[in-house]
A = this chain, B = another copy of it.
Amino acid sequence: MSHMRYSCLMAVDPDHVLRTAAALLTRKATATMDEVAKAAGISRATLHRHFAGRDALVRALESLGIAECEAALDAARLDEGPARDAVHRLVREIESAAALLAFLYTENQLFEGEQQNAGWARIDERIAALFRRGQQSGEFRIDLSPVWLTEALYGLLASGAWAVSEGRVARNDFTYMIAELLLGGALRHPAQPREES
């Protein structure tokens, strides 16, 4: 790491810094600005030139997470086709951002009093709308509220990301595990759970 070729550019790539910070903070949520800087291969001074402080860094990470989430939501085309297929697409598209989301999901507990970033509310609503659509079309059961299904998706994404990062489950299984558990649950159903679209 950090031996990228900046031979011709002196400018630091803020996006690279953010992604490195996300990877580090996902594993160690209390990492120091110094640790973040070292992980990104830059000095603390430069890190502080790009992000005024730790708050600004976390806010930038939040913006990145929101942007990646919305990109995943767009790419998943949630309002097309069967809802269950849309859930599969959503999990697949959001997989690359799962670690970042896991970090932000726990970090959000810190923003207790403050105003929730409006971006999260919109993302929540888009995901909840998908579950609502599935309920209205008869695909999804109606005794689990869309809000809870949305929260459960976040929780599964977070535990999946952690389990992968700790090597407890294979990275390749990430999408399948989460989508299948969220959709079909642990029970073995008499009617095969895959073909009913």
A contact set with B: CB distance below 8 Å: 27-30, 84, 87, 106, 109-110, 112, 131, 134, 138-145, 147-149, 151-152, 154-156, 158-160, 162-163, 168-169, 173, 176-177, 180-191, 193, 196
> Do B162 and A151 have beta carbons less than 8 Å apart?
yes
> Do B152 and A110 have beta carbons less than 8 Å apart?
no
Q: Which residues of B contact A141 (CB under 8 A)?
A: 184, 186-189, 193
A-B contact list, 7 entries, CB within 8 Å: A29-B109, A131-B186, A140-B186, A141-B184, A149-B181, A151-B160, A181-B182
> Do A177 and B148 have beta carbons less than 8 Å apart?
yes
- Closest-CB distance, A84 to chain B (whole angstroms): 6
A-side interface mostly: helix
A169 and B151 CA atoms in complex are apart in Å by 10
- Closest-CB distance, A172 to chain B (whole angstroms): 13
Nearest-CB residue, chain B, relative to A134: B186
Q: Which residues of B contact A187 (CB under 8 A)?
A: 84, 139-141, 183-185, 193, 196
Nearest-CB residue, chain B, relative to A159: B155
Nearest-CB residue, chain B, relative to A185: B185
- Closest-CB distance, A24 to chain B (whole angstroms): 11
Q: Which residues of B contact A142 (CB under 8 A)?
A: 188
A105 and B112 CA atoms in complex are apart in Å by 19
A147 and B166 CA atoms in complex are apart in Å by 12
